[in-house]
Structure 1
Amino acid sequence: MLRRLRQACAKYWGRWLLALVLTGVAASQVVGMLPGEWVGRLDLFFYDLRMRVVKAELDPRIVIVDIDEKSIAEIGRWPWSRDVVAEMVRQMTQTYQAQSVGFDVVFAEPDTSSGYTRLEELAKGELKDVPQFTRQLQSLKPQMDYDARLAEALKGQPVVMGYNLSNEAGAIAKGQLPAPAFTVADLGGRRLDVTHWRAYGANLPQLQQAARSGGFFNPLPDEDGLIRAVPLVAQVGDNFYESLALATARVALNGKRIKPVFLQNDAVLSDEQLRDYGALDSIAVDVKPDPLFIPVERHLTTLVTYRGRGGPAGGAFRYVPAVDVIRGRVPHDQLDGRIMLVGTTVPGLNDLRATPVSPVYPGVEVHANLIASIIDGDFKQRPEFALGYDMVQILVIGLVLGILLPMLGPLMSILLTVAAGAGIGAFNFWLYNAGGLVLPLATALLLIAALFVCNLGWGYLFEYRNRKAIVNLFGEYVAPELVAEMAANPESYNMEGEIRELTVMFSDVRGFTTISEGLQPNELREYINLYLTAMSEDIRGNRGTLDKYIGDAVMAFWGAPLELPDHAARAVATALKMQQTTIALNQEFVKRNWPPLKIGIGLNTGSMRVGDMGSRIRKAYTVMGDAVNLSSRLESITKVYGVGVLVGQATRDAAPGFAYRELDRVRVKGKNEPVPIFEPLAPDSELDAGLRADVEQWHAALVALRAQRWDDAERAILALQEKSAHGLYALYLERIARYRTDPPPADWDGVTTFDTK
């Protein structure tokens, strides 16, 4: 385990260090040590995306009474006379029994459309001496004073008048504000982080006094111009006022007032902290049976949860034309007992806002969304632990991906990166939907992308050359899958010479001279190409290393450059496979009237030097040593014994899973020590019972021969020859005949000596 850990550290330390640096950079950005404006913009993008992917569902509790093009076409251009508005109020509050009505419009100027004001001026001027005119005017006042008619319609009804706050240079206070929600004196010395306004454009005093309440409708756009949060409370002078949405929701819920709620653990807060925004917990709406608490953020704002793309087609709220309400044409089941907001979707009336879900979102629907959140107590919050959460996810991502990505291949790296990004995003989205938590996501996703890209770049810049070198070095020798396996750890392979135990093979075509004389040059070329291709595929298909072609001969070895504990068994299995492939090739050659193919294969196992060898002009990755030479000698004497494959004692011992027939003990040229040689027949578990019996009988004959019991040996071999005309039997019958006439010396060891290669 420790060895593997040390190897991993040696191999991946560079990329692990890079991952640590990237994680440190991400953590520094989270805590504000690095500029992060663009990261904040990206987090806003993900925040917006959360709302865009949520399908809108119609909220039947809130209805938008829309001053739309249809209404303007029937009634006339806006603003309408106050008697029309008064009729609309009466219809909404009395006919349709609205829970509350919020006006997203301001009635700041007196309505003179009836001419009553001019008549009053006449009654006080030129016609002041005409009592009949004055009396008649007084009788007409209820019908012609449209502002009074609207004020009368508002009295006692759950109507909230909207107004606008301003900090523009030169702005003045106009109209009358509603009664404040609370004052500076009510705070007990605490300060609130709230928006301050100098001026306002409010409704006529008689209208505001008649209405139940009032609320401002100023949004607070973010730096990119989108409205994501709306202030619930604003300060004008020493007074604090409700927003239109808050006031409308409060009236609908029969709430009497609102008040700020401060944290209860005052004992652990300093006096300075008590006066700070950090001590504020929420805004409470005094409703029965239990108060409703609205969490607030900086500037006493709350995030708007947009429920659709906005407008009549947005799907979140029902829109009804104002003219249909005035004329009583809306079915009662669509309007009775609803919260109603009066606004406009006509582009020319300038009440369209840029929001995360649409660049042209009706302003009145911003209030509708906030009212729905207040009623449901469903608010999205950026919790105080957001920074800690972000830091934890950064560290986890840096640790997990930083360690794993360097150890994985390209495909698995892509899958892990996608899974990590999708997992973090899905968890973030789940927290948003299930818990209403708006948590940072951008830095985590950027770190995931940075770790992936840097690992990819590292692999390309620093490892690609190593892998390409491996392919260039070994691509001609070993199978592509072995090259890929080696390329995964290029530092473990090189062409430097080393001593290693391997199994080496030599294969040669029998009678190639005769074959070449019987074929045309083009036929011979195709003949040898087919043969060499088939043999090479068998070798490489069993993880062998193709060394070289020597004319019609093939040299290969197993166990280098890739270590193979079972190199001997693979070599023996390959030799048997090559003999089967030869049979299949001969079927094709016979069809072409080509000479049949017969090959001899010699295998030997032992220590040998392997590596890049040659001259400064040309080198090759090959093997050298006595074990290699013996393999070549074994191949050359296969024809003597009439067998296709010969292996040495070391190969037989290293590959015990096969059935072997011992052929002889030989002393090849250049070797003084005798070597037992064997013919591999098949995997031991697959050997035919009859052939197994013949092998045992042959081994008994060999024992008799070495004991110089010529008659016993001859009888056994003759019995075998009756079953099969194997060239081995004829060879030994000939030897027995020679030994009878020319007996071997007394110290004969049963070894056959070969004086030629």
Structure 2
Amino acid sequence: MKKIKENYQIFIIGFLSIVVALLLHNMGLYSLIETKLYDYRFQLRGPNVLTNPDVVLVEIDDESYRLINEPYPYTRKLWANVVENLTKAGAKVIAFDIQFDSEINKPNYRVADLEFLKSLKFANENGTKVILASKLGYERSRLKPYYIVNPISLFKKESYTGVVDHEVDEIDNFSRRYTIFNLLPDDSTKYLSFGLKTAMCFLDINSDYELIQDVENNKIIIDKLIIRPYRSEASFLLNYYGPTSNIYSTFPVYSLSNIIDDNSYQLKNINEDQDWIEMFINDKHPLYERFGFDNSPFKNKVVVIGSSLKEDHDFVQTPFFNYNNNENPIPGLEFHANAIQQIIDNNYIITPTKTLDLNSESFIYHIIIIVFIVSLVLLLSYNLGLLQSIFSILILSLIWFSISIGLFINDQLWLIKNLFNLSLNPFERSYLIPVFYPIATIIITYTISLLYNLFTERRDKYFLKETFGRYISSDLIDEMYKTKKIPELGGESGIRTAFFSDIESFTTIAEKLSASELVNLLNELLSEQTEILINNHGTLDKYEGDAILGFFGAPVFYEKHATHAIDTGVEMQMNLCKIREKWKNENKYSLDEIINMKMRIGVNSGEMVTGNMGSSLHMNYTMMGEEVNLASRLESGARLYGIYFHTTYDTLQKAGLDRYQWRYIDRIVFKGLKKYKQTVEVFGYKENNNNNNSKLIKLFHQGLEYYYNKDWDSAIRFFTNCLKYEIVEHSVDLNPSIVFLERCKKYKIKNPASSWNGIVKLNKK
């Protein structure tokens, strides 16, 4: 039943943790952090050094703006020269991240358009494909507001088109994905993106091939080309090769002024007009032999042309934006270059969980991770101590963090290398799994478990204190909670120690005091004595008038229950001396019975039943058994010897014989028992050695030795010598020495039977 209850609690905590984790995840509270950790992976991995990239950048940069002898934006005649020169330099694909969608019916513009058309034909004839950018258009007043803005029809036959579309994350306006194709409302046509169309041309894939969406296997197929989309949508995660090429040389970058710098074009600054492109396309150039066509940086390359001028505002923020703590946006043409190179390399980011955020597509994967983590956290927290569980939770979080990052950079030792400033290995394939929400789930689960345990601990301890606080010590209550041992209706058998105490002549005292005086006397006395019992880890059973009934070793068992019981008796006797002295000093009571009050104590260890006895409506935590009765008879039997702390030798042996001052009393068969018990009297702690008692004990034990050997005269002599020491602790009228003197005198007159062994029977309780 207890196991079922614990499992039920774990199930409740687990279920609550899963619900909270899913709820927070679904609300998107982790999205920004998860996104930034996505960027952190790139910055940790660093640039992927491309030894021979397939993509080259030609930029309209500040150098071009300064050297090109034309106003910006440039005419199509200039672009015609660019196409021809790059074709001659061996470019396989020329991709313009520039719009050619306006048609101006003026003679000069018309001539420029024809020049550009001529260059396109020249490129086609020489095996170079040209991609012109199209874009998405929107006009609210149109019948169909959304449409594709294509280059002018004049260029259509001699070029390819691809849609330029920068997909940004709404959360921070960073570009982490690249569009595969675009769809328009009420139009089933898939308009391929600029980067995809360029890569297809480079890979010699015909544009007429059908685009197949394999949703089940999460891939898009175009002939031999396989693209891994993200979220089963028309985009994929960009596996950026590095920060901006102008600083970190991710891709080779050339200024547009270099491309048009041939022998037919004069740059503004004549000193910088070196006819640079002629080195690769003109065998008459002095440096052609050194460089030449075979060493052309554009040979068999994709050449992406676009603007890096700040004035054009065509920049993209990528995961490398803050690389090396510098803001590094990349120009739009480099955004496309990364996508083109990635498609060519088939270098996609693998997402085993489909997405980082929670949606219908990724739900099953995320719920598996959450359930696994919740189960693992609960397993650790319920089987380890507080500090151990906290440490294990931190280690678990660190392991997940390390693995999730390591899978992306393909290096599971990255954390150690990073700590010791070692270089990381180049990546081969990047796997993207969530980082933050699993760690958040670890924290959520452990926090809920901790709060639940704190609540139940407070509740259970409150219940225990309310139920047992007046009967046992707070240490025992804590131990009961720790061991989850809460007494239920019914008893439990075991070796325990019973304790009984009773005030001598209490009936006489009660008759001579008023009711209120008697109550005050009892409250003061019992309060202090009960506190001693509880402080010694005893359990208060009940009060019977002036008597205190208690036991040790239950409800929580501990080995030294006998020691605690004897200690309690010793300390109660010592405390009673202090109370009597206090009453004398205060002149609070005048009765001799109070001023000289004595308390008899009986203690016995043995097999007994302890537990809640009674009904389901009203219970009392008590003790029962033969050994309990023996403790009671030891207390009542003490009056027959005039002693005040009566226990058995077996009990004292369990408590520690060398711990106390004590003496043998008698061999007694108590009523209801068949075997005799060797009883002893305890005077106090041995460390508080009383010289009078030491002499008494020595003489008394010698007297007993003669007594059991039937040497009555010698026994009488020793017991008589004991009397002068007895009167210090005991009554003049009754003490153990007087009892044995009377027996010796009796046996001297009439010897006991030959079978006599000194055992006496007590027929009274």
Give the alignment's TM-score, normalised by structure 1. Answer: 0.57
| Structure 1 equivalent of residue 666 of structure 2 | 665
- Name the CA shift for 1:713/1:440 in 2 (closer, same or farther; >3 Å): same
In structure 2, the partner of 1:48 is: 35
Instruction: Determine which of 562, 571, 579 is the counterpart of 2:562.
Output: 571
CA 1:275 to 1:53, structure 2 compared with 1: closer, same or farther past 3 Å? closer
Letter in 2 for 1:230: Y
Query: Please, which of 431, 445, 449 is the counterpart of residue 407 of structure 2?
Result: 431
Counterpart among 95, 99, 103 of residue 106 in structure 1: 99
- SS at 1:230 equivalent: strand
Match of 1:257 in 2: 204
1:54-110: CA deviation from partner (whole Å, max 9, x where unpaired)? 3627647799888799999999999533499869979x989x999998654324336
- Shift of residue 677 of structure 1? 0.9
How big is the shift at 1:463?
8.6
Q: Is the 8 A contact 1:505 1:602 kept in 2?
A: yes
Equivalent residue number for residue 4 of structure 1: none
Contact preservation (8 Å) 2:541, 2:549:
yes
Q: Where does residue 163 of structure 1 map in the other structure?
A: 133
Structure 1: 5+ residue stretches without partners:
1-6, 30-35, 122-140, 173-196, 263-271, 287-291, 331-335, 515-523
> What's 1:217 paired with?
164
Pairing 1:301–2:292 present: no
Instruction: Work out whether residues 71 and 321 of structure 1, in 8 Å CA contact, stay in contact via their aligned partners in 2.
Output: no
Single out whichever of 644-653 and 666-675 deviates more from structure 2: 666-675
Q: Distance in 2 between matches of 1:668 and 1:554?
A: 24
Q: Which amino acid aligns with 2:532?
A: M
CA distance in 2, matches of 1:14, 1:99: 68
Indicate the SS of the match to 2:478: helix
Task: Determine the C-alpha separation between the residues in 2 that align with 1:451 and 1:651.
Answer: 50
Q: Which residue pairs with 1:676 in the alignment?
A: 678
Q: 1:150 to 1:581 in 2, by over 3 A?
A: farther
Q: CA deviation at 1:709?
A: 1.2
Aligned residue number for residue 648 of structure 1: 648
Q: What corresponds to 2:631 in structure 1? A: 631
The 8 Å contact of residues 312 and 319 in structure 1, kept in 2 or not, is answered as: yes
Secondary structure of the residue aligned to 2:532 is: helix
Residue 56 of structure 1 aligns to a residue whose secondary structure is: helix
- 2:561 partner letter: R
CA distance in 1: counterparts of 2:436 and 2:579, whole angstroms? 66
**Is 1:379 matched up with 2:348?**
yes
Looking at structure 2, the residues matched to 710 and 676 of structure 1 have their Cα atoms a distance apart, in angstroms, of 21
Instruction: Check the 8 A contact 1:216/1:243 in 2, yes or no.
Output: yes
Shift of 1:502: 3.0
Q: Which residue is equivalent to 1:231?
A: 179
Determine the structure 1 residue equivalent to 2:589: none
- Partner-residue secondary structure (3-state), 1:257: coil
Task: Give the 3 Å change call, closer, same or farther, for CA 737–24 of structure 1 in structure 2.
Answer: closer
Matched AA of 2:407: L
User: Residue 655 and residue 700 in structure 1: after superposition, are their counterparts in 2 closer, same or farther (change >3 A)?
Assistant: same
CA contact (8 A) 1:165 1:218 kept: yes
In 2, distance between residues paired with 1:21 and 1:420?
A: 20
Match of 2:562, as an amino acid?
A
Shift of 1:42: 7.2
Task: Kindly state the Cα deviation for residue 549 of structure 1 after the two structures are TM-superposed.
Answer: 7.7
Number of the residue aligned with 1:704: 706
Cα distance, 1:466 vs. partner? 5.6
For the Cα contact (< 8 Å) 1:217–1:243, is it kept in 2? yes
Q: Tell me, what secondary structure is at the counterpart of 1:556?
A: strand
Q: In structure 2, the residue corresponding to 1:560 is in which secondary structure?
A: coil
Question: How much has 1:539 moved relative to structure 2?
Answer: 0.8
> Cα RMSD over matched residues?
7.6
Equivalent pairs, count: 648
Instruction: Give the 5 Å matches for 1:165-204.
Output: 165-166=135-136, 168=138, 199-202=148-151
The alpha-carbon deviation at position 303 of structure 1 amounts to 1.0
Alignment check: 8 A CA contact 1:249 1:375 kept: yes
Paired with 1:726 and 1:451, the residues of 2 have a C-alpha distance of 68
Q: Structure 1's 640 and 12: CA in aligned 2 closer, same or farther, altered over 3 A? A: same
State the partner residue of 1:557: 551
One-letter identity of the residue aligned with 2:39: R
- From the superposition, tell whether residues 740 and 666 of structure 1 become closer, same or farther in structure 2 (CA, over 3 Å): closer
Question: Aligned pair in 2 of structure 1 residues 318, 576: CA closer, same or farther (>3 Å)?
Answer: farther
Q: 1:207 to 1:40 in 2, by over 3 A?
A: farther
Fraction of identical pairs, as percent: 20
Which residue of the partner structure matches residue 602 of structure 2?
602
Unpaired segments ≥5 residues, structure 2: 259-266, 273-295, 355-361, 411-428, 510-520, 587-595
Residue type matched to 2:605 in 1? T
Provide, for residues 602-656 of structure 1, a one-character-per-residue CA deviation record: whole Å limited to 9, x for no partner: 3213465645689999986444666446435645777998988642256357668
What SS does structure 1 have at the residue aligned with 2:43?
coil
Counterpart of 1:134 in structure 2 is none
1:539 and 2:536 matched: yes
Contact 2:532 2:568 in 1 (8 A): no
Residues 403-552 of structure 1: matches in 2 within 5 Å? 427-434=403-410, 436-439=430-433, 468-487=462-481, 492-494=486-488, 502-506=496-500, 532=529, 535-536=532-533, 538-540=535-537, 544-547=538-541
8 Å Cα contact 2:493/2:608 also seen in 1? yes
In structure 2, the residue matched to 1:186 is none
Q: How many Å separate the matches in 1 of 2:178 and 2:121?
A: 32
Displacement, 1:493? 1.8
Q: d(CA) in 2 for partners of 1:598 and 1:85?
A: 122
Letter in 2 for 1:202: P
Structure 2 CA distance for partners of 1:64 and 1:642, relative to 1, 3 Å: farther
One-letter code aligned to 1:53: Y
Whether the aligned pair in 2 keeps the contact of 1:701 and 1:714 (CA below 8 Å) is yes
1:43–1:440 CA contact under 8 A, matched in 2: no
The 1:740–1:16 alpha-carbon spacing in structure 2 relative to 1, beyond 3 Å, is closer
Distance (Å, rounded) in 1 between the aligned partners of 2:247 and 2:549: 77
- The offset of 1:572, in angstroms, is 2.0
Are 1:166 and 1:199, in contact at CA under 8 Å, matched by a contact in 2?
yes
Letter in 1 for 2:666: R
C-alpha separation in 1, matches of 2:554 and 2:181: 79
Equivalent-residue separation in structure 2 for 1:81 and 1:110 (angstroms): 14
3-state secondary structure, aligned to 2:5: helix
8 Å contact from structure 1 (residues 698, 717) kept in 2? yes
Contact map agreement 1:67 1:321 (CA 8 A) in 2 = no
Deviation string 1:132-164 (CA, Å, 9 cap, x unpaired) is xxxxxxxxx99x999799999999999976513
**Counterpart of 2:98 in 1: which secondary structure?**
coil
Q: How far apart, in 2, do the equivalents of 1:588 and 1:86 lie?
A: 113
CA distance in 2, matches of 1:120, 1:451: 69
User: Is residue 528–residue 552 contact of structure 1 (8 Å, CA) maintained in 2?
Assistant: no
- Cα 1:319/1:677, change in 2 over 3 Å: farther
TM-score scaled by length of structure 2: 0.56
